[in-house]
Amino acid sequence: MASILTLDGISKRFGAIVIANDVDLAVKKGEALGIIGPNGAGKTTLFGVITGTVPPDSGCVTFDGRDVTRLPPDQRCRMGIARSFQIPQPFGGMTVFENLVVAAAFGQGRSEHDVYAQSHDILERCGLAAKANRPASSLTLLDRKRLELARALATAPQLLLLDEVAGGLTEHECEALVDLIRDIRKTGITIVWIEHIVHALLAVIDRLVVLHGGAFIAQGDPQEVIRSPQVNEIYMGIPADA
Amino acid sequence: MEWVNTIVQGILTGGLYAMFAAGLSLIFGVMRLVNIAHGDLIVLAAYVALVVTETLGINPLVSLAFVVPIMAIAGYVLQRTILNRTLGDDLLPPLLVTFGLSIIIQNALLEIFTADSRKLNAGPIETASIEVLPGISLGVLPLLQFVLAVAVIAAMQFLFYRTATGRAFRATSDDQPVSQLMGLDNRHVFALAMALSLAIVAIAGVLLAVRANFDPSIGPARLIFGFEAVIIGGLGSMWGTLAGGIILGVSQAIGAKIDPGWQLLAGHLVFLFILAIRPQGLFPKVQ
């Protein structure tokens, strides 16, 4: 199947720290890709490069057959790239519903009136319908994470980037979220998911890549990658030749 | 009765101050830009009205139909071409650029229109008044000015909380990088906010020019009144801004009543007093 997103030779450094070193990545349409890697491996920066908030030093980003390397974030959003943040960043001064309406109206370039019903459906799916009129700043952590997801979905993305959505949740909450992400996946949205909670990730994804020191060091079938010597070395400190 | 009259006049003047403040507060709220040229833009609007009324021979109040769109377009262009470039993590560049703009506007007006004091003539409406109670007459013009101020504040409140543009303003104000990821083009949103701010400036400028004499140098003082009204009322609250304007207007009226030389002093003292006891303003926005 055709790639919806390709990264070609992306490099990024902040001063002397190399965040991405000639990274290549192709994400197929409809695929669910997981990214793991130690803290500081450059995972979140990669999302910044894809959404347009972090300009790469070199390399190019292609989305849906078009070179988007120089497009600003708002245009990429309207093309169909959405992301959630590790630390939820709702518009705190607005209600939950308003958060959705803004994302839906401007993310899709439609009038507010046209997106009310759709926004409500998404809140329903994400389990937030009862809290639609609450100020977003009053939500609990789980609900904020749901709102992150809901707001990203409201922009009607083709590609959804999830940044550690399962972190900080209880086991039960985590399961509910995994179910939700699986549902989203079924609607045909391509998912790229950065996560430390590996079992949550494995429940959804069909390919896993490992980012370490600004480069992909392993990729392929999730179960195989998890058991691979390289991953053991990074996470457990077991040398690959042991 | 004389005192009641003084206070009523103060309230009516306060409406004008609230209008000075509303545009200032809008811009700071949406893009954290302190527009030092705000007062001079009010004066610029007055001169635009002067040119329009003299050229077309129409009443200054009718000229609003031209001045408001002219200023709004100027605001949009100003933001897109100059001010957007100054915005970033540092608060200093926009401050310096608008300060420079203030000097440019003042001197350009001085060059073109000289330092002569001007006034717009609105005709018989200027002296018309209604006697509401024995001993208390309200000038039709001050009353109209106040009603317009309330209408502007109410319209802004509606826009902010009931329209897509308002939600775009609030989302951008809340978190600029995230709003961009939701498809909002910040440069356009900022330019719309500046257009709206200068539309309000246009109304304020015309009303100012009809009520009192103006010359190219009076802008900075209007800026101060605007600042004071915003801070007394509390940042981010529209109705608070109206209240702030009224408090300032009444303070000045009472000061002037005690001694004509005390008008401005009384306003500044009340401002400083409120700043000292309640720095967040009287009606800060509840999140």
Residue in B with minimal Cα distance to A99: B171
Q: How far is Cα B253 from Cα B259, in angstroms, rounded to an integer?
A: 10
- Among A25, A20, A6, CA closest to A55: A20
Q: Does A89 touch chain B (CB under 8 A)?
A: yes
Q: Does A53 touch chain B (CB under 8 A)?
A: yes
| Interval A3-26: pLDDT, tens | 999 999 999 998 888 888 999 999
Torsion of CA A157, A160, A162, A165, to 10 degrees: 60
The pLDDT of residue B237 is: 84
CB A94 within 8 A of CB B171: yes
Q: Which residues pair with A14 in a beta bridge?
A: A17
Q: Does B170 touch chain A (CB under 8 A)?
A: yes
| Ranges of H-type helices in B79-139 | 84-86, 92-113
The residue segments making up the domain with residue B221 are 2-277
Q: Does A83 touch chain B (CB under 8 A)?
A: yes
| Residue contact A77–B182, C-beta within 8 A | yes
The pLDDT of residue A214 is: 85
- pLDDT reading at A153 higher than 80: yes
| Residue contact B175–A91, C-beta within 8 A | yes
* Residue A91: C-alpha distances to residues A4, B50, B181, B228, B267 (Å): 29, 43, 12, 29, 37
The pLDDT of residue A239 is: 65
Q: What are phi and psi of A212, to 5 degrees?
A: -150, 130
Neighbours of A239 (CB within 10 A): 9
- For residue B284, is it within any domain? no
User: Which has more pLDDT, A242 or A236?
Assistant: A236
* CB contacts, 8 Å: B177 with chain A: 53, 73
- For residue B282, is it within any domain? no
CATH classification of the domain holding B238: 1.10.3470
**C-alpha distance from B180 to closest chain A C-alpha (Å):** 5
Q: Provide the phi-psi class of A22: left if phi over 0, else alpha when psi is between -120 and 50, else beta.
A: left
The pLDDT of residue B286 is: 53
Find where tokens 């002397």 sit. Answer: A16
Q: Is A184 exposed, middle or buried (0-12, 13-18, 19+ CB in 10 A)?
A: buried
Q: Does A124 touch chain B (CB under 8 A)?
A: no
The pLDDT of residue A167 is: 84
- Amino acid identity, residue B282? L
Q: How far is Cα A24 from Cα A21, in angstroms, rounded to an integer?
A: 9
Domains of chain A and CATH, by start: 1-80+157-242 (3.40.50.300), 88-156 (no CATH)
Per-residue pLDDT tens listing for chain B (287 residues)? 788 889 999 999 999 999 999 999 999 989 989 999 999 999 999 999 999 999 999 999 999 999 999 999 999 999 999 999 999 888 899 999 999 999 999 999 999 999 999 999 988 888 888 888 887 888 899 999 999 999 999 999 999 999 999 999 999 999 999 999 999 999 999 999 999 999 999 999 999 999 999 999 999 999 999 999 999 998 878 899 999 999 999 999 999 999 999 999 999 999 999 999 999 888 887 54
- For residue B286, is it within any domain? no
- pLDDT reading at A230 higher than 90: no
User: Which of B170, B172, B174, B181 is best to mutate for the A interface (most A CBs within 10 A)?
Assistant: B181
| Ranges of H-type helices in chain A | 43-51, 73-79, 96-108, 112-125, 141-154, 171-186, 198-202, 222-227, 229-236
Angle between the N-to-C axes of helices B186-211 and B60-78, in degrees from 0 to 180, rounded to the nearest 10: 150
Residue in A with minimal Cα distance to B160: A94
Pairing of strands A3-14, A17-28: antiparallel
- For residue B256, is it within any domain? yes
| Interval A92-148: pLDDT, tens | 989 999 999 999 999 999 999 999 999 999 999 999 999 999 999 999 998 999 999
How many CB pairs below 8 A link A and B? 77
The pLDDT of residue B35 is: 96
| Residue contact B170–A155, C-beta within 8 A | no
- Among B153, B129, B122, B128, CA closest to B17: B153
Structure tokens at B197: 């701010």
- For residue B117, is it within any domain? yes
| Residue contact B182–A83, C-beta within 8 A | no
Q: Does B164 touch chain A (CB under 8 A)?
A: yes
* CB contacts, 8 Å: A137 with chain B: 287
Neighbours of B133 (CB within 10 A): 11
CB A31 within 8 A of CB A189: no
Q: How far is Cα A173 from Cα A171, in angstroms, rounded to an integer?
A: 6
Q: How many domains does chain B have?
A: 1
- Among B176, B195, B175, CA closest to B185: B176
**C-alpha distance from B183 to closest chain A C-alpha (Å):** 4
CB B275 within 8 A of CB B227: no
Q: How far is Cα A108 from Cα A102, in angstroms, rounded to an integer?
A: 10
* Residue A225: C-alpha distances to residues A28, A192, A217, A242, B72 (Å): 19, 16, 10, 17, 59
> Looking at chain B, how many residues does it have?
287
Q: How far is Cα B174 from Cα B233, in angstroms, rounded to an integer?
A: 20
Helix, strand, or coil (residue B133): strand
| Residue contact A108–B183, C-beta within 8 A | yes
Own/partner pairs, A108-113, CB within 8 angstroms, 24+ separation: A108/A78, A108/A155, A108/A156, A108/B183, A109/A78, A109/B183, A111/B164, A112/B163, A112/B164, A112/B167
- For residue B285, is it within any domain? no
When CB atoms are compared, the residue of B175, B177, B182 closest to A155 is: B182
The pLDDT of residue A79 is: 96
Per-residue pLDDT averaged across A56-73, rounded?
Answer: 95
Find where tokens 């977003």 sit. Answer: A136
The pLDDT of residue B287 is: 40
Q: What are phi and psi of B249, to 5 degrees?
A: -60, -45
| Residue contact B181–A83, C-beta within 8 A | yes
Helix, strand, or coil (residue A169): coil
pTM of the model: 0.91
Helix, strand, or coil (residue B14): helix
| Residue contact A53–B180, C-beta within 8 A | yes
Average pLDDT, chain A: 91
The DSSP 8-state label assigned to residue B78 in this structure reads H
Q: Does A115 touch chain B (CB under 8 A)?
A: no
**C-alpha distance from A107 to closest chain B C-alpha (Å):** 4
Q: State what percent of residues in chain A have pLDDT above 90.
A: 73
Q: Does B182 touch chain A (CB under 8 A)?
A: yes
